[in-house]
Chain A
Amino acid sequence: MKEIRLHGRGGQGAVLAAELMVVAAFEDGKYGQAFPAFGGERRGAPVQAFVRLDARPVRVRYRVNQPDHVIILDRMLPNTVDVLSGLKPDGLAFMDSEKSPATLLWSVDAPVYAVPATRIALEVFGQPFVNPAMLGAWAAVTREVSLEAIQRAYQHRFPGSLGEKNSRAAQKGYDFIRAGATPVQVKKSEQTPGGVIKWNREEVAGVPGQPLHFASVVAARTSLAYPTGSWRYSRPVVDPAACNGCGVCETFCPDSSLMIVDKQAIVDYGFCKGCGICAEECARNAIQMVIEEA
């Protein structure tokens, strides 16, 4: 049995990719299961999905804790989520990135294939639908599932031109590997992925890092220990010369992570989710959204 864990962010299609992996494997005569991590999904929040593939029906039903393969749909994730947690010694990882993954934070040594899935998606769709190229690359390396079965699964799921585009993106991911791409051997980082802001208040219960409160009561403002900056695809950058501190951006920030200090808009990138409302609403065009690079 092969166990695969997909890491993405809400809205990126990790759950869909997991589903289509099993559909494709079934086309090739295998059995499998795909399921999401339980819980509410928020756009941009880190999410996981799990896949098991086998020659016989899969019976176990729990999360994939020791994956053979890890597929990372977002190049920003490794710095905040321990994506390689439990990876088997001979395990492989696949990540959407055009850059070397060596500079990111990793919890173990592992070979990581960097697949330019975003570039492929922008070429094919004009939008960052990364999962078909990632599945194509994964299939080319592991040969768990044929490329044709993956393409058929996408075409069945998205009839018409969208299915064709997905099929083409999967082919490009596949071809990228067959053209001789090799994995980068990443090293365990000194810093741990997913570290949180240390809680330093005086509360003894109902706060992070302390015993549970007997009635599940939570203390005030503990979300300050839950940075959401990793949800961001692009960051607002303030032009100090153009900003007059009017405060429209602060009022409209859904995440309380932009405020006016000394007549200047200051963004807390630890929390900003990059929605872009501030840039959109700024009457002086003092804020520009800039794509995040890991």
Chain B
Amino acid sequence: MDESIISKYDEMLFTPGHRACPGCGASIAVRAILEATGPDVIVVSPTGCVETFTAQYPYSPWGVPWLHVLFENAAAVASGVEAALKKRGLADKVKVIVIGGDGGTHDIGLGALSGMMERGHNVTYICYDNEAYMNTGVQRSSATPMGASTMTSPAGTLAWGKEQPKKNLPAIALAHGIPYVATASIAFPKDLTRKVKQALAIKGPKYIEVHSPCPIGWGFDAAQTIEIARLAVQTGLVPLYEVSEDQPLQVRKLPKRVPVVEYLRLQRRFRHLFEAEGRQAYLNLIQAIADENVIRYKLGEQNSEIDQN
């Protein structure tokens, strides 16, 4: 090993040696998030990929305090951490964030998340959204997009994958009246880091959803992780926006939109939509979701401020 690298590891907040699959999108998200938090943070994670690949006794890449309790309670645990920091007089110094997957956020942990947001804890909840239960072997979650084939929503002669659209959790978070909600993508890590910094500067509950492709679960070459994430944004399927008390809606504009098929056909989870006759209707449905996002989030207009880094 190169000595110039080894000397850097002592300061790293997320060291190598973790067990993420090659090309893991979630670990790219974790690095961009910690870039924003710095060392004065406590990270809570629910059970999931990040938990599994970062904490196998006695090996861990975390250079910050990190706490895993269970699958469905990260937001509640973070509430307790925040309360304890208040009592220890550290509330202004040490930030509390959650880094959890979509299963632990959209599904089993939603009750605890809602409670945390409603109570107004000063916690930044960040979901790395890889759109299914990857840790258990690619089963459908409520964040799985329409049309995706998973182990529990398989395509077959009678089925074309998940029938329902993705749960809109940022909208649910907004409905709680919390001061900051944003979406981000690992394809735009500086934007993600900036949004986490922005969230940490605001007191109260914050929710950020980070689109994080999974080469294994989605079925694409590990080298393509960023390209896939970029395409998801460019199609309009993953709108990047932020909403805060000061700024009603800021979005990343899409000057040139990419048709959804160019994103879908690169992934094994959508392959069935291109193999059988009569599946065009489903592709049209997915395109319609992207089209609707463009209208709803004003992705096509030019007048709103955007961050293009």
Contacts and interface: CB of A to CB of B under 8 A. Distances in A.
B38 to A, nearest CB: 15
Contacts of B21: 10, 42-44
> DSSP class of A's interface residues: helix, strand, loop or mixed?
loop
Contact of B2 (A10, A224, A268): A268
A216 B63 CA distance: 17
Contacts of A262: 4
B52 A207 contact: no
Contacts of A145: none
A280 B227 contact: yes
B222 A252 contact: no
A174 interface: no
A174 B223 CA distance: 35
- Give the interface residue-count category, chain A: 35 or more
Interface string B265-283: 0000000000000000000
Interface in A223-276: 223-228, 231-232, 251-257, 259, 261-262, 266, 268-276
Contact of B63 (A221, A231, A271): A221
B250 to A, nearest CB: 22
B85 interface: no
Nearest to A233: B22
Contacts of A273: 22
A275 B222 contact: yes
B62 A277 contact: no
Interface in B4-32: 4-5, 8-10, 12, 14-25, 27-28, 31-32
Contacts, number: 153
A261 to B, nearest CB: 5
Contacts of B19: 42, 45, 226, 228
A276 B16 contact: no
Nearest to A205: B58
B53 interface: yes
Contacts of A271: 16-17
B194 to A, nearest CB: 13
Contacts of A232: 22
B57 A255 contact: no
A225 B59 CA distance: 7
A218 interface: yes
The winner among B10, B57, B59, B64 for most chain A CB atoms within 10 A is B59
A38 to B, nearest CB: 13
Contacts of A270: 1, 16
Interface string B38-62: 0000000000000011110111111
A60 interface: no
A223 B57 contact: no
Given A261-B4, A268-B16, A40 B52 contact: yes
A162 to B, nearest CB: 15
B4 A277 contact: no
Given A206-B58, A220-B63, A271-B16, A43 B22 contact: yes
Contacts of A221: 9-10, 12, 15, 60-63
A279 interface: yes
Contact of A268 (B1, B62, B135, B215): B1
13 contacts: A40-B52, A207-B58, A218-B58, A219-B60, A221-B63, A223-B61, A252-B28, A255-B27, A256-B15, A256-B16, A268-B1, A272-B16, A281-B226
Given A218-B59, A268-B2, 6 more contacts: A221-B60, A222-B59, A224-B15, A251-B190, A269-B1, A280-B227
- Which 5 pairs, one residue from A and one from B, show the smallest C-beta to C-beta distance? A223-B17, A276-B223, A271-B16, A275-B23, A275-B22
Interface of A: 10-11, 40, 42-45, 206-208, 210, 212-213, 216, 218-228, 231-232, 251-257, 259, 261-262, 266, 268-277, 279-281, 289
